[in-house]
Protein backbone atom coordinates (compact mmCIF):
# COMPACT_ATOMS: atom_id res chain seq x y z
CA UNK A 1 0.00 0.00 0.00
CA UNK A 2 2.85 2.41 0.77
CA UNK A 3 4.25 2.13 -2.77
CA UNK A 4 0.79 2.65 -4.28
CA UNK A 5 0.25 5.80 -2.23
CA UNK A 6 3.68 7.11 -3.24
CA UNK A 7 2.86 6.42 -6.90
CA UNK A 8 -0.33 8.47 -6.41
CA UNK A 9 1.68 11.48 -5.22
CA UNK A 10 1.61 10.93 -1.46
CA UNK A 11 5.01 11.60 0.11
CA UNK A 12 6.82 8.61 1.57
CA UNK A 13 6.77 9.88 5.18
CA UNK A 14 3.01 10.49 4.92
CA UNK A 15 2.43 7.06 3.33
CA UNK A 16 4.41 5.40 6.12
CA UNK A 17 2.47 7.36 8.75
CA UNK A 18 -0.81 6.20 7.21
CA UNK A 19 0.36 2.59 7.17
CA UNK A 20 1.32 2.76 10.85
CA UNK A 21 -1.88 4.59 11.84
CA UNK A 22 -4.31 2.37 9.94
CA UNK A 23 -2.75 -1.08 10.37
CA UNK A 24 -4.36 -1.63 13.80
CA UNK A 25 -7.81 -1.20 12.23
CA UNK A 26 -7.14 -4.09 9.89
CA UNK A 27 -5.69 -6.45 12.49
CA UNK A 28 -3.27 -9.25 11.81
CA UNK A 29 -3.75 -11.52 8.86
CA UNK A 30 -4.60 -11.39 5.21
CA UNK A 31 -6.93 -8.37 5.29
CA UNK A 32 -4.54 -5.64 4.15
CA UNK A 33 -5.55 -2.01 3.65
CA UNK A 34 -6.17 -1.00 0.04
CA UNK A 35 -5.69 2.63 -1.02
CA UNK A 36 -9.28 2.79 -2.31
CA UNK A 37 -10.75 1.61 1.00
CA UNK A 38 -13.11 4.10 2.62
CA UNK A 39 -11.80 5.14 6.03
CA UNK A 40 -15.18 4.83 7.75
CA UNK A 41 -16.93 2.08 5.79
CA UNK A 42 -14.01 -0.27 5.05
CA UNK A 43 -11.48 0.49 7.79
CA UNK A 44 -14.14 1.07 10.46
CA UNK A 45 -12.53 4.27 11.75
CA UNK A 46 -14.98 6.46 13.64
CA UNK A 47 -14.76 10.26 13.27
CA UNK A 48 -13.24 10.72 16.74
CA UNK A 49 -10.45 8.26 15.95
CA UNK A 50 -9.87 10.04 12.65
CA UNK A 51 -9.46 13.31 14.58
CA UNK A 52 -6.94 11.59 16.86
CA UNK A 53 -4.98 10.29 13.86
CA UNK A 54 -4.86 13.76 12.31
CA UNK A 55 -3.78 15.29 15.65
CA UNK A 56 -1.00 12.71 15.89
CA UNK A 57 0.10 13.60 12.33
CA UNK A 58 0.32 17.28 13.31
CA UNK A 59 2.25 16.41 16.47
CA UNK A 60 4.70 13.97 14.87
CA UNK A 61 5.19 16.24 11.87
CA UNK A 62 5.99 19.29 13.98
CA UNK A 63 3.17 21.21 12.31
CA UNK A 64 1.58 24.30 13.82
CA UNK A 65 -1.76 23.48 15.39
CA UNK A 66 -5.07 24.74 13.98
CA UNK A 67 -6.68 27.40 16.15
CA UNK A 68 -10.21 28.08 17.30
CA UNK A 69 -10.39 30.99 14.89
CA UNK A 70 -8.94 28.87 12.07
CA UNK A 71 -10.04 25.28 12.77
CA UNK A 72 -9.15 22.31 10.59
CA UNK A 73 -12.19 20.59 9.10
CA UNK A 74 -11.50 16.93 8.44
CA UNK A 75 -13.47 15.50 5.51
CA UNK A 76 -15.44 12.43 6.59
CA UNK A 77 -15.85 10.75 3.21
CA UNK A 78 -12.32 9.76 2.15
CA UNK A 79 -10.49 6.78 0.78
CA UNK A 80 -7.06 5.97 2.19
CA UNK A 81 -5.55 7.63 -0.90
CA UNK A 82 -7.71 10.73 -0.39
CA UNK A 83 -6.58 10.79 3.23
CA UNK A 84 -2.96 10.76 2.07
CA UNK A 85 -3.59 13.77 -0.15
CA UNK A 86 -5.46 15.50 2.68
CA UNK A 87 -2.52 14.98 5.06
CA UNK A 88 -0.11 16.24 2.38
CA UNK A 89 -2.19 19.42 2.09
CA UNK A 90 -2.14 19.83 5.88
CA UNK A 91 1.64 19.45 5.89
CA UNK A 92 1.93 22.25 3.33
CA UNK A 93 -0.57 24.57 5.02
CA UNK A 94 0.66 24.11 8.58
CA UNK A 95 4.40 23.69 8.04
CA UNK A 96 6.48 25.72 10.47
CA UNK A 97 9.52 25.72 8.16
The string of pLDDT tens digits covering residues 70-97 is: 889 999 899 999 999 999 999 999 998 6
Domain count, the chain: 1
Average pLDDT over residues 22-34: 82
Rounded CA-CA distance 44/63 in Å is 27
**Residue 10 maps to which CATH number?**
1.10.1200
pTM of the model: 0.91
Structural domain of 21: 2-94
Cβ of 43: how many Cβ atoms within 10 Å? 19
- Of 20-24, 31-35, 52-56, 79-83, which gets the smallest average pLDDT? 31-35
CB-based burial, 13-24: b 16+ in 10 Å, e otherwise: ebbebbeebbee
Amino acid sequence: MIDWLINEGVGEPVAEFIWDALSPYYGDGDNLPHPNDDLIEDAGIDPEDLEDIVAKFFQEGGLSEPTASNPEHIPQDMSICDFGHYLMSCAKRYSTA
